[in-house]
Amino acid sequence: MKFLFEDESFFETLRTACFAPYGGADLGEVIVTAQAIPDGDEDAWYRQWRATAARVQELGERALAAGHPLSAREALLRASNYYRTAEFYLRDDPFNDDRAKEVSSLARNTFATAAAHLNTPVEAVAIPYEDTTLPGYLFLVDDSGVP
């Protein structure tokens, strides 16, 4: 499916845009970022999405510092999604690719910071898997402790 690109492999743009109704993207930011990426250029994809994510993260951090948690949360959720989008084409060797490790970490950190400002509690959890654990988040309806 094509969306903003002739190269159909860049369908990931549509996935990113689909988070807009839920606060994980802004359609204007998606379009502006996509317009700066030459069709099929995966390196430009990484650079442009990472730059957009960093810019939006800065907006969130400034909002937090100014005492505006709602605006901060909204920006940080978008930044998290954009960092994840930047990482999408870095799948050849993600465990040894410093760019992939960096943007994956930034995606998690911006999400965790945003989650701390949601209207309902969110708990970081460790999910047992084979000989390790996987990180996750438990979204609670309230903090009453009642099942």
Return averaged pLDDT per consecutive 10 residues of the chain, 147 residues in all.
65 87 94 91 95 98 97 98 94 88 96 94 95 94 87
Total of domains in the chain = 1
13 inside domain? yes
Q: Is 96 exposed, middle or buried (0-12, 13-18, 19+ CB in 10 A)?
A: exposed
- Beta bridge partner(s), residue 134: 127
138 inside domain? no
Of 136, 106, 117, nearest in space to 68 by CA: 117
Q: Which two tokens stand for residue 88?
A: 């999408």
129 inside domain? no
At 145 the pLDDT is 83
At 91 the pLDDT is 81
Report d(CA 140, CA 137) in Å as an integer: 10
Q: Which two tokens stand for residue 69?
A: 């948690």
135 inside domain? no
143 inside domain? no
Residue-number span of the structural domain to which 58 is assigned: 8-118
pLDDT one-digit tens code per residue, 97-108: 999 999 999 999
pLDDT one-digit tens code per residue, 25-49: 999 999 999 999 998 899 999 999 9
DSSP string, 82-146: HHHHHHTT--SSTTT-HHHHHHHHHHHHHHHHHHTTSSS-EEEEEEEETTEEEEEEEE-S-SS--
Whichever domain contains 17, its CATH number is 1.20.1440.110
Residues 26 and 20: beta-carbon distance below 8 Å: yes
